[in-house]
Structure 1
Amino acid sequence: MNAAHVRSAERALSVGTWLIVAGAMLYSILTVTPLAAKHTPDEWDWTAPILPLVVDAAVVIVVRLDAVLARLGGHGGWWPVVLRWMTGCMTLALNVADSALKKDLVGVAVHAVAPLLLIVTAETGLAYRRAITAAVQELEAKQRAEREARERAAAERREEAARRAREEREHAAALAREQREHEARLAREQAGREAAARREEREQAEARERAEREARERAERERERRERERAERERREQAERRERAERERAALLAAGPAAEKFPEDRARATVKAAFDAGLPVRAAAELCGWSVGWVSARYAEYRQPDAGGAELAIASR
């Protein structure tokens, strides 16, 4: 069902209702006016049509306002119900009164058709309008939920693309650093070989000094090699820690809205991951199941850790 179908149904209901109301009003005026004229002094016979007009005007007011309230999803309370049934009963009584006084059961049945149809149409039209309003609201809520789900999925895809791009840049930078270090090492080794060749050409008296120099250089190279290996090991460990943290954060963010309130440790981890990912406070609250105020306090701590720690220390006292 779409908006066009709803509008078409409402138009059909409105046109049908007003056709029945107009027909019942005309029939009521033609039926009740002679009855009112019989029970009115002759000089006031001209007032006979006023009574059915007043009653039918009340019917029009009830039908129109009930339609507006039903479309807005409102309810006027008990008074509209009382007025609706009172006018319907009055219309029914006035239409069948003449036949009832004459004890004409067939006439009573014939003249009761239009008022009864009017009463049932008013009640049925109100129920239909309320049902249509509820269906439209449900359809709008469903469409809004689908739109929000699509927006969240798009945001998650953008975040994943940004994370992959960041990892690729970091990997390229690490490769470039390794290449520069390798070239520097080759250059140092080449310089050492050239220095050794030059030292071999020196006089025999400098052999001991040259040997000591070579020993010192070997020790220095060994120390540099160990330092490079240690630095490389540390870089790998840091890269592994960063990758593990990224995976943990992605897993926390990919879990979706929490069905229930997380434990505090898990909630803090989820909020920290959402903060690092740049998500808004409300999205982080949905992920961990905690309140927006609690999540806002954690965001404030992450933005200003020193101030947040001081405030927590003061609060603990």
Structure 2
Amino acid sequence: MNGIHSGAQIRSAERALSVGTWLIVCGAMLYSVLTVTPLMAAHTPDEWDWTAPILPLVVDAAVVIVVRLDSVLARLGERGGRWPVTLRWMTGVMTLALNTADSALKKDLVGVAVHAVAPLLLIVTAETGLAYRRSIAAAVTALEERQRAERERIERERREREREQREHEARLAREQAEREERRWLKEQELQAAREAAERAERERREREREQRERERERIEREAAERRERERREREERERRERQARAEQAERERAALLARGPATGKLPEDEARRIVAAAFTAGLPVRQTAELCGWSVGWVSARYAEHRAPAAGGAELAIASR
């Protein structure tokens, strides 16, 4: 709880410091612009009067950069080195000089003192805020170290409790494992006896199965051999039948072609058979027309039919007659 309160207090103080610093910076910037602009306008050609606010704005922008980056570095616990310090003091001195220059030129000491308030407050606030932020960063670091140490202590205690719990569980597990091992040994003995009996029974069944399998393979082999013989015999029979049909068709074609020129116009069926035989033998159309007694045009038409894709079927049909 103390760590939580301390963290909340540090964050609250840092917010207050940040808000206060930026209020002072914004007020000093506004005051500086209002104070320095008339001075710059008085020392600027009339046609360039509109540039009078630029210089105070540039100086004040440098002040903002310094304050902002210093706050970031202080929060990170780092230092910017020599150049940030130079820039911080240079901008402060410039702001002080610009704000008091008009009164100093008029030898108005009261005006110098009045116009020096805001720049001096800005310079001191920047330095003080930097110191505060470094102190806050150191406090945050110390708080984090304490919290880390507390977390490590809690973690060590937790690991110690877990180790004791694991040892207790391991002891219980060993005792349980010993009981399980004794029970397992008894079961193994019974299991070994059952497995021996089952193995003997399996071996007997396996021998019987192998014997049946060999018998089945023998029967299948004999059936396959028988089917193969029947297939070969059937193929041989079909081959002889095809050969016989081919020889018969060849003899018929030879007989048709050996008849010589027809004395008259033969019947169409007989003429078609002669044309088919002549087409197969490769005879000319005119010779075929002499054999069947039909015209050359009719024979040419029949030759065209035989040249079509269905010619093979037609030849088989004619040969089978």
TM-score for both structures, normalised by structure 1: 0.51
Q: Give the count of matched residue pairs.
A: 175
Task: Provide the residue aligned with 1:117 in structure 2.
Answer: 121
CA distance in 2, matches of 1:49, 1:4: 42
CA distance in 2, matches of 1:93, 1:173: 89
Equivalent pairs: percent with the same residue?
76
2:79 matches 1:72: no
2:50 matches 1:46: yes
Task: Provide the residue aligned with 2:38 in structure 1.
Answer: 34
Q: Give the one of 158, 164, 167 matched to 1:160.
A: 164
Larger RCO (alpha carbons 8 Å, 6+ apart): 2
Q: Give the one of 7, 10, 17 matched to 2:14.
A: 10
What is the RMSD computed on CA atoms of the aligned residues?
2.4
Deviation at 1:7, TM superposition (A): 2.1
Residue aligned with 2:44, SS: coil
Gapped regions of structure 2 (runs ≥ 5) = 179-321
Letter in 2 for 1:51: L
Q: Give the one of 144, 147, 152 matched to 2:151.
A: 147
Deviation at 1:4, TM superposition (A): 2.4
Deviation at 1:48, TM superposition (A): 1.1
CA distance in 2, matches of 1:128, 1:112: 23
Change in Cα spacing, 1:95 to 1:156, as seen in structure 2 (3 Å) is same
Q: Report 1:1-317 matches (<5 A).
A: 1-163=5-167
Deviation at 1:158, TM superposition (A): 3.1
Deviation at 1:11, TM superposition (A): 1.4
Change in Cα spacing, 1:101 to 1:163, as seen in structure 2 (3 Å) is same
Deviation at 1:35, TM superposition (A): 1.1
CA distance in 1, matches of 2:99, 2:129: 22
Gapped regions of structure 1 (runs ≥ 5) = 175-317
Residue aligned with 1:2, SS: helix
Residue aligned with 1:98, SS: helix
Deviation at 1:54, TM superposition (A): 0.8
Change in Cα spacing, 1:172 to 1:11, as seen in structure 2 (3 Å) is closer
Contact 2:7 2:143 in 1 (8 A): no
CA distance in 1, matches of 2:176, 2:136: 60
Letter in 1 for 2:66: V
Change in Cα spacing, 1:168 to 1:51, as seen in structure 2 (3 Å) is closer
CA distance in 2, matches of 1:168, 1:93: 84
CA distance in 1, matches of 2:10, 2:18: 12
Deviation at 1:154, TM superposition (A): 2.2
Change in Cα spacing, 1:122 to 1:165, as seen in structure 2 (3 Å) is same
Letter in 2 for 1:92: L
Change in Cα spacing, 1:121 to 1:165, as seen in structure 2 (3 Å) is same
CA distance in 2, matches of 1:10, 1:85: 23
Deviation at 1:172, TM superposition (A): 11
Letter in 2 for 1:72: L
Deviation at 1:122, TM superposition (A): 0.7
Letter in 2 for 1:93: A
Change in Cα spacing, 1:75 to 1:173, as seen in structure 2 (3 Å) is closer
Change in Cα spacing, 1:142 to 1:39, as seen in structure 2 (3 Å) is same
Q: Which runs of 4+ in 1 moved over 3 A?
A: 160-174
Larger Rg: 2
Deviation at 1:53, TM superposition (A): 0.8
Deviation at 1:162, TM superposition (A): 4.3
CA distance in 1, matches of 2:168, 2:60: 73
TM-score for both structures, normalised by structure 2: 0.50
Letter in 1 for 2:41: A
Identify the range of structure 1 (134-143 vs 164-173) with the bigger mean alpha-carbon deviation.
164-173
